[in-house]
Amino acid sequence: MSALSKDVQIAVIGAGTMGAGIAQVAAQAGHSVLLFDAAEGATETGIEKIGNGLSRLVERGKFTPEEVAGTLSRLNPVARLEDLSPAGLVIEAIVEDLAVKQNLFQNLENICGDDCILATNTSSLSITAIGNALSRPGNFAGMHFFNPAQVMKLVEVVSGSTTSSEIAEVIFSTSEAWGKKPVYATSAPGFIVNRVARPFYAEALRVLEEGGADIGMIDAIIKESAGFRMGPFELMDMIGNDVNLAVTKSVFESFFYDPRYRPSLIQEDLVAAGRLGRKSGSGYYDYANGGPVRDVKTCEQTDFPDFVSVHGNLGITATLVPLMEAAGIKVEIENPKNPDGSIHVGSAELRLTDGSLATERGGNSIYFDLALDYEKATRVALALADQCEKSAVDSAIGLFQALDKSVSIIDDVPGMLAMRTVCMLANEGADVVNQLVCNEEAVDIAMCYGANYPKGPLEWADMIGPEHIEKTLDNLARVYGDPRYRCSPLIRLKARTGNRFRY
């Protein structure tokens, strides 16, 4: 199905941050937009904010004054819901309340034409449940933008059980015509992004609860090693801890209290204390003086090694070998076909974490964490066996310092930080596919364009190898005895068959 033509009027209900952003997107795409908000003066304020934002973009050379004038001329505030009758597509962006939304769309069915497409921007409510109140539910779907809508590329096109496939296709094509990256999804709790993203916060909070690493350390490793733009605690503070907790609770309840989505008592306590993040002046960090102060513990400089022995196949970490050689370290490789790869430097035996404990291996066993790109990573985390000798620790630190990395030591927690986070993101993404919410490509597009991830979870799973993902999850489940870490059947299938997710 083709996109709506530019002569089709678009209506947006709700002139707050999200509604105004959606209205701006439609107007920039050339549509005449009817903007309605029940609050007096809200539509005018919303259009004024759009104008101010576009003016700043003119100053930065992103738009011409003529383009801005054209966009603003297509934004039309209306005073009554009945004034939306000419619209061919109505997008709702109001309060997240099922009854309120159902009532609104029932009224719109009486106001707009029979062929008008009705769409909700809900991030948490069931599309099927909202549509159940309508006489023409086939014309109703989810059109979930991400904040700020005028910047973020992703649109989740969500079908309820009665949504017409043709209507979903029109919304998809229209989103593309508006310069967005749409993905199809079925109506399931959290859709794609808000569901798949839960482990990004949950694993960081669990490590914090256990005292495995402090807030600054966790954020630093997730950014400097795993390549995420923001650490989980920085991001929760930016989103608002009350908002993040509410989404987690909503997903948890919607999945009938599945432990995989269990909220954290730390976050619950923070919200109870009114520490909501940037908007309240404090959260995980203190913003009273303009920004968070981070004191990330970094190992002191130690001697660089001149010889390393690599035993077996290092898999994804094989890129360390040329880095070591470029640093002037002599590398000897033994038994390259052995899948249990390890790096021996001095008396230390280093391995990529697999969800087990270094202490279980004993001796001078040391685990190092996953990196998105070991060449570009600026920090590497190590976890030491309790029995580890100081000389072995110094050798391990010196090795990564020779590769120009900052080195941080965390407690011997299963899966460390980056690895357990990425494995759980991949696991959730695989389950979303396995449960027919969307396809594999949609997972990666959604998380890259809707959450700014450096790599799609399933593409990352291919990089690491489903076999290692499976092993890590099984070890996490064994160590914790928690069904939260159960491995997706799709991950197991890929691991058993040697297939990959690449679509």
Which residues have a catalytic role annotated?
123, 144, 156, 194
Please say whether the beta carbons of 469 and 491 come within 8 A.
Answer: yes
Please say whether the beta carbons of 245 and 198 come within 8 A.
Answer: no
Closest CA to 451 of 199, 268, 278: 199
d(CA 64, CA 57): 9
SS3 117: strand
SS (H, E, C) 304-351: CCCEEEEECCCHHHHHHHHHHHHCCCEEEEECCCCCCCEEEECCEEEE
Q: Name the β-bridge partners of 120.
A: 92, 142
Q: At residue 159, what are phi and psi to the nearest 5 degrees? A: -100, 130
For residue 384, the Cα-to-chain-centroid distance in whole angstroms is 29
For residue 283, which amino acid is it? Answer: G
Closest CA to 77 of 37, 104, 50, 28: 37
What contacts 24+ positions apart, CB below 8 Å, involve 42-47? 42/15, 42/16, 43/15, 43/77, 43/78, 44/77, 45/15, 46/15, 46/16, 46/19, 46/20, 47/15, 47/20, 47/23, 47/72, 47/75, 47/77
Decide the pairing of beta strands 379-384 and 406-410.
parallel
SS3 365: strand
Helices (H), 179-240: 193-196, 198-209, 215-224, 232-239
d(CA 291, CA 287): 5
Radius of gyration of the chain (CA): 25
Q: Which two tokens stand for residue 114?
A: 């029979």
For residue 480, the Cα-to-chain-centroid distance in whole angstroms is 24
DSSP string, 424-462: HHHHHHHHHHHTTSS-HHHHHHHHHHHS--SS-HHHHHH
For residue 280, the tally of other CB atoms under 10 A from its CB is 16
SS3 492: helix
